[in-house]
Amino acid sequence: MEQTIDLLELFNLLVKHIKFIAVITILVATGTYVFSKTFIPPKYSSSALLYVENKSATSEALSINDLSVAQKLVDTCTIIFTSDTVMSTLASDSRVGYSADVLKSMISVSSEKNTECMRISVECYDPDEATYLTNKMIEICMSEYSRIIKSGTITEISPASNVKTPTSPKPLKNAIIGFLLGAVLASAIVIVNSLLDTSIKPTDDLTKLYDIPVFAEIADFETGDKNKYKYKYSYKYGI
């Protein structure tokens, strides 16, 4: 027989087990916060902003076409500056002990809101190392730009930031996510447990469950426990 549960029954079920849900939710949220704070090492991110310009240094006017080409140049630079050649050069020149593949996973190069501005960011476990690698990356990128593009200019707008506050992990944010996941998990446990419970309880609506009207209900005191009762049911058929 298919068992269904309506929204009111679901709400009452969750309210009935609100203490269990609250405990599980708090435990998951607290565990997530403690794990993020204790076991995940902090990472620091340093970034610099560059401006890619298509016109030559001697040109006095800047046309719309120059801006359009500069925006496309940023996309080209993004590919060039994250190439294996640049990463290998950075690994060799910086002498920080990171391989080219590891550096590639630490560095991001992206356009700033589809403009001629480009941001280079480095994230690692040491804030001073992140700043150093960002500055070194700028030097190499400017050199590669001149070698490959051979037209226009690339200018540093803002130098590499020297941050002392970790960018990750975010324990409070993770705790909020853990809180929500804990609430969902606890509610799911309550609902599944209720659906799998096929026993009949005195408060169950037998007519609704089995479409058989209850003729009488008699308490059974044979257990000798005044706080626990067994119930015997008799059913009247043909009504």
Q: Give 137-163 pLDDT, tens digit per residue.
A: 999 999 999 888 877 788 999 889 888
Residue 219: the pLDDT is 58
51 and 153 within one domain: yes
Total domains, the chain: 3
Range of the domain at 227: 200-239
204 and 191 within one domain: no
Which letter does DSSP use for residue 226 in this model?
A: T
Please say if the pLDDT value at position 114 is more than 70.
Answer: yes
114 and 53 within one domain: yes
144 and 56 within one domain: yes
If 0-12 CB within 10 Å is exposed, 13-18 middle and 19+ buried, where does residue 36 land? buried
**Per-residue b or e along 177-216, where b marks 16 or more CB atoms closer than 10 Å to that residue's CB:** ebbeebbeebbeebeeebeeeeeeeeeeebeeeeeeeeee
55 and 143 within one domain: yes
190 and 111 within one domain: no
DSSP codes joined into one string, 38-56? HTS--BEEEEEEEEEE-S-
CATH number at residue 112: 3.30.70.1130
91 and 149 within one domain: yes
Q: Give 39-65 pLDDT, tens digit per residue.
A: 999 999 999 999 987 765 444 554 555
Closest CA to 120 of 150, 88, 90: 90
56 and 82 within one domain: yes
207 and 186 within one domain: no
CA distance 232 to 12: 26
Q: Give 210-234 pLDDT, tens digit per residue.
A: 666 656 666 555 555 544 444 444 4
205 and 193 within one domain: no
In-domain check, residue 163: no
Relative orientation angle of helices 84-94 and 127-148, to the nearest 10 degrees: 130
152 and 49 within one domain: yes
What percentage of the chain reaches a pLDDT higher than 70?
74
In-domain check, residue 18: yes
Largest CA distance in the chain: 104
Q: Are strands 153-158 and 107-111 parallel, antiparallel or unpaired?
A: unpaired
Task: Answer yes or no: pTM beyond 0.75.
Answer: no
Q: Are 133 and 96 in contact (CB under 8 A)?
A: yes
